[in-house]
């Protein structure tokens, strides 16, 4: 049981490039979310999903796209990377029957130059 | 933006001392208040959580105190240990069922040996 797996762990992009951050969970959780973590700003919600085929925007969605074709996977796409997207990205999943506890991945450290 | 304000930003405590981290919220619809612990290079992990129908919850050396009328809650770490050195985040959820959490900005705790 791996929990929440994020890949890659580190990535450097040039401004304007696109890429996909992968997130997979093997706990059959319905709810999944993407956060970015920046110094002094805590964790900010980018997008979230309440089940396969259903996604919605969080606090800072601009510049990011998501899709949820399966329960297990919730990829985050950067459409055209900007230096402001330099951050640590965390994916989290939540079991619907255990109110509130989020299981986080190890994070992806992204640098946009 | 519905905020959760967390203080202090950083905290240094001697081994055996008490660490206290405070959070305040604005939205009275919040009904779930978890604390997450994050070690360097790792994702946050749930430490302890409380609902507004109780004023205190204790798990080992960790205690949440909750003041509904003041819209404040705090984390107390008794007999602080060097292994408690980590970043702590408070969070709040509004019970909408979408598991959207508003996180505080984090407190970096260092416990001196």
- Mean pLDDT value of segment B105-113: 96
The minimal CB distance from B32 to the residues A35, A99, A105 is found for A99
3-class secondary structure, B83: helix
Contacts of A9 (CB under 8 A, 6+ apart): A106, A107, A108, A109
Q: Which of A42, A50, A108 to mutate to test the interface with B (most CBs of B within 10 A)?
A: A42
CB B49 to CB A100 under 8 A? yes
10-residue mean pLDDT profile of chain A (113 residues): values are 92 97 94 92 91 92 97 96 97 75 93 97
Q: DSSP characters for B20-67?
A: EEEEEE--TT--BEEEEEE-TTS--EEEEEE-TT-SEEEETTEEEEEE
Q: State residue A1's pLDDT score.
A: 66
Residue A29: half-sphere exposure toward Cβ, Cα within 13 Å: 29
Provide, as residue numbers in chain B, all residues whose Cβ is less than 8 Å from the Cβ of A45. 100-101
* Reported confidence tier of residue B98, pLDDT bands at 50, 70, 90: low
Asked if residues B43 and A90 have their Cβ atoms less than 8 Å apart, the reply is yes
Q: State residue A74's pLDDT score.
A: 98
Q: State the Cα–Cα distance between residues B91 and B45, nearest whole angstrom.
A: 12
Q: Which of B99, B100, B101, B104 to mutate to test the interface with A (most CBs of A within 10 A)?
A: B99
Interface of A with B in 33-62 (CB under 8 A): 33, 35, 40-45, 48, 50, 56, 58-59
Provide, as residue numbers in chain B, all residues whose Cβ is less than 8 Å from the Cβ of A99. 32
Q: State residue A95's pLDDT score.
A: 79
The Cβ of residue B48 has, within 10 Å, a number of other Cβ atoms equal to 17
* Contact residues of B toward A, CB < 8 A: 1, 6, 9, 32, 34, 36, 41-46, 49, 89, 91, 93, 97-101, 103-106
At B98, phi and psi to the nearest 5?
A: -95, 0
Interchain CB contacts (distance < 8 Å): A and B? 63
* Reported confidence tier of residue B102, pLDDT bands at 50, 70, 90: confident
In this model, does residue B23 exceed pLDDT 90?
yes
* Reported confidence tier of residue B94, pLDDT bands at 50, 70, 90: confident
């Amino acid at each position: 049981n791996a929990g929440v797996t994020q890949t890659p762990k580190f990535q450097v992009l040039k401004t304007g490039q696109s890429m996909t951050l992968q997130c997979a969970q093997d706990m059959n959780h319905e709810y999944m979310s993407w956060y970015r973590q920046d110094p002094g700003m805590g964790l900010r919600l980018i997008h979230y999903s309440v089940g396969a085929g259903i996604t919605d925007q969080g606090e800072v969605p601009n510049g990011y796209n998501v899709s949820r074709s399966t329960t297990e996977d919730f990829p985050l796409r950067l459409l055209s990377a900007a230096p402001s997207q330099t951050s640590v990205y965390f994916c989290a999943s939540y079991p619907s029957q255990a109110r509130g506890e989020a299981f986080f991945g190890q994070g992806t450290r992204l640098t946009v130059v | 933006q519905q905020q959760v304000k967390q203080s202090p930003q950083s905290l240094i405590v001697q081994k055996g001392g008490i660490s206290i981290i405070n959070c305040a919220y604005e939205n009275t619809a919040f009904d779930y208040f978890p604390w997450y612990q994050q070690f360097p290079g790792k994702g946050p992990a749930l430490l302890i959580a409380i609902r507004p129908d109780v004023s205190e919850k204790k798990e080992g050396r960790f205690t949440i105190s909750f003041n509904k009328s003041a819209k404040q809650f705090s984390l107390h770490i008794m007999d602080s240990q060097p292994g408690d050195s980590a970043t702590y985040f408070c969070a709040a959820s509004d019970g909408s069922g979408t598991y959207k959490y508003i996180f505080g900005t984090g407190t970096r705790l260092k416990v001196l040996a």
